Amino acid sequence: MSDNFIGKPFQLDSEVKNGVVAWRSPSNIALIKYWGKHGRQLPRNPSLSFSLSNAYTETQVQYSTREKTRDTVSLEFLFEGKKNDAFESRIQKFLNSISTNFPFLKNLDLKIESQNSFPHSSGIASSASSMSALALCLTDIEYELHGMERNEEFFHKASYVARLGSGSASRSVYKDFCVWGTTSLEDKYDDEYAVPLDKVHPVFEGLHDDILIVSAKEKSVSSSAGHDLMIDNPYAETRYAQAREKLIKLAGLIENGEIKVFGKIVEEEALSLHALMMCSDPSYVLMEPASLEIINKIRAFRDSTGTPIFFTLDAGPNVHVIYPERASQEARAFIVEELLQHCEDGRHIFDKMGSGPQKISYSNKI
């Protein structure tokens, strides 16, 4: 319940309080997609994803005590070393909206610096990595100020706060696979925050996700507009039921190492997401001809060679190519020879399942 994450009151007369924290947090790729929300950023269906390794955001928050409490958060924000007014006002609004979760926010002057490991306009959504990195920093400051032990609850709170910034960000505070949203799989899964998926067969260790950038252009319909269009989508309820069912199936396949059926569900999910967009009112298409060329080539290559290689898509035209470590040689050769030619200027990010967010010291930043 959200009440669990109301922050402790902060005493201005308490000692300290200047400091700096920094976290590196990864992007993640959803295999069961979150599409449709309600209330304060709550999902209509549970989602399952894994965290990446090379696509990440690093965020550093410097804080110092103010002389007295004010009504709003005081913030200076730098993105990739430069002042960015648009981002600054968005983050300031977000910080004001979570001040009950972090009462200390109104007692501190904050300077936040953030940078991504991938180019800003690469067509790779940065909201999951950036909001999770910020949420981890803020939760860390709270735990530091109140001398609390960083246990499982620490990550639940960071995930909860990240979710308020961007739903998919809730899943970036863990390594490997995780689930966000209630499911009949187990009671521990929650709509308010993500939880790791524990039972993973070794065949999925180091699972690859090579991101093929078909277009780096800004999407014609944003994710938040897409979530809103689910409200009147005639297939919405069927979709939510389907996602719930598929998540349970996929979790079982991940536990048992059944990679072929796993891949089948992953692809069906990606195409269901895009089918929902095509069936919205107004309808829209985010895939490009090159996305379909890549999809067709992946299926043909798999059929002719038996290589376990699959695709998924986010809410955009770029294709994520998923394959296990044991197929990496033939999969990578195929991608280089056959697929990169469909990317915009050959752009791609070779990525894989990662070890989750990391607390960093200033000197280790990119």
Residues near ligand PMV (CB under 6 A) are: 30, 33-35, 47, 127, 166-168, 223-224, 227, 273, 314-315
For residues 37 and 106, which CB has a smaller minimum distance to ligand PMV in the complex? 37
Residue 168 CB, nearest distance to ligand PMV (Å)? 3
Q: Which residues contact 266 (CB under 8 A, 6 or more apart)?
A: 31, 250, 310, 311, 312, 322
Q: H-type helices in the chain, by residue range?
A: 85-97, 127-145, 152-165, 223-229, 236-256, 259-278, 289-305, 328-334
288 CA to centre of own chain: 23
From residue 340, give the alpha-carbon distance in Å to each of 55, 113, 243: 18, 33, 31
For residues 96 and 272, which CB has a smaller minimum distance to ligand PMV in the complex? 272
Query: Tell me, what amino acid is at 302?
Result: R
For residues 50 and 79, which CB has a smaller minimum distance to ligand PMV in the complex? 50
- The number of CA neighbours under 13 Å toward the Cβ of 4 is 14
Residue 37 CB, nearest distance to ligand PMV (Å)? 7
Residue 30 CB, nearest distance to ligand PMV (Å)? 3
For residues 107 and 312, which CB has a smaller minimum distance to ligand PMV in the complex? 312
Residue 132 CB, nearest distance to ligand PMV (Å)? 11
For residues 273 and 335, which CB has a smaller minimum distance to ligand PMV in the complex? 273
The 10 Å Cβ neighbour count of residue 37 is 19
Q: Are strands 74-79 and 108-116 parallel, antiparallel or unpaired?
A: parallel
For residues 7 and 165, which CB has a smaller minimum distance to ligand PMV in the complex? 165
Distance CA 291, CA 145 (A): 48
- The number of CA neighbours under 13 Å toward the Cβ of 73 is 25
Contact 23, 360 (CB under 8 A): yes
Residue 254 CB, nearest distance to ligand PMV (Å)? 16
Q: Which residues contact 36 (CB under 8 A, 6 or more apart)?
A: 43, 44, 45, 227, 230, 231, 233, 236, 239, 240
Residue 127 CB, nearest distance to ligand PMV (Å)? 5
Distance CA 143, CA 127 (A): 24
Residue 170 CB, nearest distance to ligand PMV (Å)? 8
Residue 256 CB, nearest distance to ligand PMV (Å)? 23
For residues 32 and 327, which CB has a smaller minimum distance to ligand PMV in the complex? 32
Element (H, E) at 3: none
Residue 277 CB, nearest distance to ligand PMV (Å)? 10
Contact 198, 254 (CB under 8 A): no
For residues 215 and 223, which CB has a smaller minimum distance to ligand PMV in the complex? 223
Residue 32 CB, nearest distance to ligand PMV (Å)? 8
| Helical pair 236-256 and 259-278, crossing angle rounded to 10 deg | 160
* CA torsion angle 34 38 42 47 (round to 10): -20
- Tell me the residue length of the chain: 366
For residues 7 and 317, which CB has a smaller minimum distance to ligand PMV in the complex? 317
For residues 65 and 223, which CB has a smaller minimum distance to ligand PMV in the complex? 223
Distance CA 254, CA 348 (A): 26
Q: Which two tokens stand for residue 150?
A: 């960083």
Query: Tell me, what amino acid is at 88?
Result: E
